[in-house]
Structure 1
Amino acid sequence: MKKLVIFILILFSTPLTLLFGASTELKNAAQPGLNPVPITLVSEQEGPQAGKKIELSRPDLEYRGTLILNSPYPAFGGFSDILLSNDRKTFLAISDMGFWLKGSLNYKQDGSLKNVERRAEMGQLLNTEGKTFAVKYYADSEALCRAPESGYLVAFERVHRINRYDSGTPLDLSGKATTLSIPDQLKNSPKNGGIEAILKLPDNSIFTLTEGDDSVSALSKAALFVDGKWINFEYKRNSHYRPTSAGNLADGRILILERKYRGPGTLGIRFCTINRNQMKEGAVLSPEFFCEINLPIPRDNYEGMDIIKDKEGAQWIYIISDDNFSPVQHTLLTLLELKKTTAN
């Protein structure tokens, strides 16, 4: 309900033809003349200085800084997933209000986060008719990945579905969507417990994982799309953690970002892993603990993740938080470096 109210406030805080375009409740409403639109993006450093020795549960993992991202653009916020270019200079994020953000990152000499370029752009996701979503219920984009051949896949919650966008431009979600058929167990997910993670695996199969709902089951529905068919299985949640994103590790494992929140003082952020060879029809996957993110590393409602491997074999793990459009939360972009070892 809170996000619905925010969605309505955003809708009326900016001219319709610029921000939201057609409404299903308005006749002959014009689509935005410019989509995406240029915006101003700013950042500031948060937390301990990058490079400072931070005790983590893995000796091969190093903290590489956190940025708070901000923009005066009224639709900025609510980011639920992120992708990075292979050179780590450009990022693409989606929001649960049906918007996407494309920006550029600058780094310090050691590879840690420095700041963002002020010039960025923000666009609206379009439906299969090439129109914007004017109702939050249809615009709740929660997960993002590269498509097997070209373009990108975006998973939506509430009205559970996967859309494909292929504008021909890297890290761009412009243009009319096409749909990817999904199995019934994903379509029938709880309204607020749908697909939270979608990931193209190295073999070009597509892995999907729902957030699930503790009031329904301790299992999250999951599926793998391979050779035109879906393989259905489940993911076992524990300790009130719920999966929010997924990324490919160099050793073939899949890294799962998990978050828990049961009230003030209960926020938990951690990573677990699963294996591709466990994904079989009817299987129940039990994730293995990888590491936990604790203070003094800044923590918030981390929902999105991407992993980039560089030429030297290091893996750069980016996580972005959903601020829920709340004055007490922030859009945090945090970077971790998983150093090359004989184990990874």
Structure 2
Amino acid sequence: MARRRPRYQAAMRFLLALAALPLLTTFAPYALYKEPVLPPQPKARLVPVPLDEGDPARRLGGLLFLGGWAIESNDPRFGGISAMHVEGDQVLALSDAGSLIHLALPATGPAQVAIRSLPDGPGSASSKFDRDVEAMTVHGGHAWLAFEGRNAIWRYNRGDWLSDAAFQPPAMRDWPGNDGGEAMLRLADGRFLVFSEGRRRADGSSEALLFDGDPAHADTTTFTLGYRAPEGYRITDAARLPDGRILYLNRRASILEGFSAKLTVGNGSDFEAGDILTGREIAHFKAPVTVDNFEALSVDLEDGRTVVWIASDDNFSALQRTLLLKFALAE
């Protein structure tokens, strides 16, 4: 019975979070947040979590589990992670309230964390609707952010985080405010893919755009594609593998199953207008495996192997957790 207790607690956390989710997603994007009371020094603590409380196995489909943490912080701006880029032990994350989170990963215990608001962006910095970042891709000294509520792509210098290019692509202007740009990646040849979370096409796929260059520039040509997630799932992030293929992170919320996610891999080249992108499943996250509201994905190289990082968006709710999981790709 003692072994079942963590699973029971996780199930209760999910049911409470799911009950609150409609309120969070309906009203949060439009709220004007008061200035939070900030601690003198932001702190973060990493609490190790297993892949499965009741099973010592460290393999999940095509992934080899390397470690996992639930991250806690005394700073109210920490959380809501919807986009992430990991290099070595340095995590750069963007929240869906427009906060930049820099986290240095230790082995265990306290971690160095720095949190600040984006100094530049669409609309008001105090409006979650204006600064709702759901996707990020990094290349060289620049980072591209997708603002879901504004259906806009902004390009930033990573040094000072000031923008040097921004555009609201006409093909994205009719994407629903809460189903806008959810995933974005840069292909090896410099083209970009941007995915809508929920805008449906006649064939049942969700809409995706292929930019023949920088999406933050008004003169970039755009082509419409489709993306077909696993049945019942929606895309929440995507990342390019070193071999050019694309990893897709897909999430589902169900009263019966709780949160679950599927990681799929697909072709990363030879796209044409009208194509429907899809992927082959390589990992399925569902209870009793550790899972939450997975929304952020990053790929890195470590000692010659491909490392996959996945993080969850806690919706700034005490009923959910910010999880950070680390895997080696082991197809």
User: Shorter-normalised TM-score: what interval?
Assistant: 0.7 to 0.9
Structure 1 counterpart of 2:69, one-letter code = L
Contact 1:79 1:321 in 2 (8 A): yes
- Residue 77 of structure 1 contacts residue 325 of structure 1 at CA under 8 Å; is this kept in 2? yes
Q: Residues 320, 48 of structure 1: CA spacing in aligned structure 2 closer, same or farther, 3 A cutoff?
A: closer
Residues in 1 aligned to 2:83 and 2:146: alpha-carbon distance in whole angstroms: 10
Cα distance, 1:237 vs. partner? 3.0
Do the aligned residues in 2 keep the contact of 1:126 with 1:132 (CA within 8 Å)? no
Alignment partner for residue 279 of structure 1, among 268, 271, 274?
Answer: 271
Deviation at 1:9, TM superposition (A): 8.6
Taking structure 1 as the reference length, what is the TM-score of the superposition? 0.78
Query: Partners of 1:43 and 1:10 in 2: how far apart?
Result: 27
Q: Describe how 1:36-115 pairs up with structure 2 within 5 A.
A: 39-48=42-51, 52-58=56-62, 61-85=63-87, 88-106=88-106, 114-115=107-108
Shifted more, 131-140 versus 213-222: the winner is 213-222
Corresponding residue number in structure 2 for 1:25: none
Identify unmatched segments of 5+ residues in structure 1: 19-36, 107-113, 169-173
**Post-superposition offset of 1:258:** 0.5
Structure 1 residues 324 and 231, CA gap change in structure 2 (3 angstroms) = same
Instruction: Please say if residues 103 and 116 of structure 1, whose CA atoms lie closer than 8 Å, have aligned partners that are also in contact.
Output: no
Partner of 1:192: 178
Contact persistence 1:278–1:285 (CA under 8 A): no
Determine the C-alpha separation between the residues in 2 that align with 1:262 and 1:41: 30
Shift of 1:121: 0.5
Identity of aligned residues (%): 25
Distance 1:287 1:182, change over 3 A: farther
Distance in 1 (alpha carbons) for counterparts of 2:144 and 2:33:
25
Report whether the alignment pairs 1:230 with 2:222: yes
TM-aligned CA deviation for residue 91 of structure 1: 0.6
Would you say how many aligned residue pairs link Structure 1 and Structure 2?
A: 301
* Counterpart contact for 1:144–1:155, Cα < 8 Å: yes
- The letter for the 2-side match of 1:323 is D
Q: Distance in 1 between matches of 2:251 and 2:268?
A: 22
Residues of 2 paired with 1:205 and 1:232: CA distance? Answer: 13
| Partner SS state of residue 300, structure 1 | coil
Match of 1:2 among 14, 20, 24: 24
Q: How does 1:76-155 map to 2 (within 5 A)?
A: 76-85=78-87, 88-106=88-106, 114-115=107-108, 117-128=110-121, 133-147=125-139, 150-155=141-146
Match of 1:323 in 2: 314
The 3-state SS of whatever aligns with 1:324 is coil
Partner-residue secondary structure (3-state), 1:185: helix
Are 2:324 and 1:333 equivalent residues in the alignment? yes
Indicate the SS of the match to 1:277. Answer: coil
CA distance in 1, matches of 2:270, 2:41: 44
CA distance in 2, matches of 1:249, 1:274: 10
Select 2:291's aligned residue among 299, 303, 328: 299
Residue matched to 2:17: none
Task: Describe the shift of the 1:242–1:124 C-alpha distance in structure 2 as closer, same or farther (beyond 3 A).
Answer: same
Q: CA RMSD in A?
A: 2.9
Unaligned runs of 5+ in 2: 1-22, 214-219
**What displacement does 1:122 show?**
0.4
SS of 2:92's equivalent?
strand
Helix, strand or coil: the match of 1:136?
A: coil
* Residue 259 to residue 278, structure 1, CA distance change in 2 (3 Å): farther
Aligned partners of 2:259, 2:270: CA distance in 1, in Å? 29
Give, in whole Å, the separation in 2 of the partners of 1:49 and 1:239. Answer: 24
SS in 2 for 1:268: strand
User: 1:61-85: CA deviations, max 9, x gaps?
Assistant: 2111210111111111111011011
Encode CA deviations 1:206-246: one digit per residue, 9 max, x unaligned: 22111115699832211222244323211123421001111
Superposed CA offset, 1:128-162 (max 9, x none) = 58x85111210111011114x53101101121101
Separation in 1 of the partners of 2:24 and 2:199? 19
